[in-house]
């Protein structure tokens, strides 16, 4: 039973008015409330909205879509107001465009979670720095200007490896 709880704002508040180069961090705590240890922790993102915010452009479009990265804070907690981890910071999922997160990506470092264990995460959403040329007031066809996207995060786990017990 994997559940998430907000630390600070978490996922309860939308993100608005991002400009190229902006980063917004959200903090959540995952809890394994089940009776078995969990393995293969991971995450995927369902994204809908403006295509140029979800998928990187290709020539001649050069826009860079939103990226999401996941960091864990082990042996400590995140301070949402400052973004500081009081323990060890690990990169679980490097910055990845939304279109590449439509299938589950497993966490790189902290990919197990003991029964009743918690994992403190920072979810970093970034609009990469980029330039778009507007000609005579007309933005390029594949633009991020005035776009919007709705993101739904799905955290996943698997049960621990099977065991044999002899009596």
Contact predicate 72/113, CB 8 Å: no
pLDDT digits (tens, 9 = 90+) for 26-38: 999 999 998 999 9
Number of H helices, E strands in the chain: 1, 10
Q: Which residues does residue 59 pair with via DSSP β-bridges, in sequence order?
A: none
Residue 139 has pLDDT above 90, yes or no: no
Concatenating the DSSP letter of every residue in 22-57 gives -EEEEEEEEEE-SSS-EEEEEEEEEEEE-HHHHS--
Question: In this predicted structure, what is the pLDDT of residue 8?
Answer: 81
Residue 59 has pLDDT above 80, yes or no: no
The pTM of the whole model exceeds 0.85: yes
pLDDT above 90: percentage of residues in the chain: 68
Residue 133 has pLDDT above 90, yes or no: no
Question: In this predicted structure, what is the pLDDT of residue 12?
Answer: 83
pLDDT band at 46 (very low <50, low <70, confident <90, very high): very high
End-to-end CA distance of the chain: 29
Residue 61 has pLDDT above 80, yes or no: no
Question: In this predicted structure, what is the pLDDT of residue 58?
Answer: 78
């Amino acid at each position: 039973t994997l559940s998430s709880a907000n630390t600070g704002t978490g996922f309860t508040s939308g993100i608005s008015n991002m400009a190229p180069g902006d980063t917004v961090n959200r903090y959540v705590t995952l809890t394994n409330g089940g009776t078995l240890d969990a393995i293969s922790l991971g995450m995927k993102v369902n994204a809908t909205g403006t295509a140029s915010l979800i998928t990187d452009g290709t020539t001649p479009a050069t826009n860079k879509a939103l990226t999401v990265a996941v960091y864990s804070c082990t042996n400590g907690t995140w301070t949402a107001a400052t973004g500081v981890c009081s323990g060890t910071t690990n990169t679980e999922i490097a910055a990845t465009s939304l279109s590449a997160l439509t299938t589950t990506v497993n966490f790189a470092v902290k990919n197990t979670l003991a029964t009743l264990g918690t994992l403190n995460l920072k979810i970093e959403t970034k609009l990469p720095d980029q330039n778009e040329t507007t000609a005579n007031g007309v933005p390029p066809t594949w633009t991020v200007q005035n776009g919007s996207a709705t993101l739904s995060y799905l955290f996943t786990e698997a049960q621990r490896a099977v065991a044999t017990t002899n009596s």
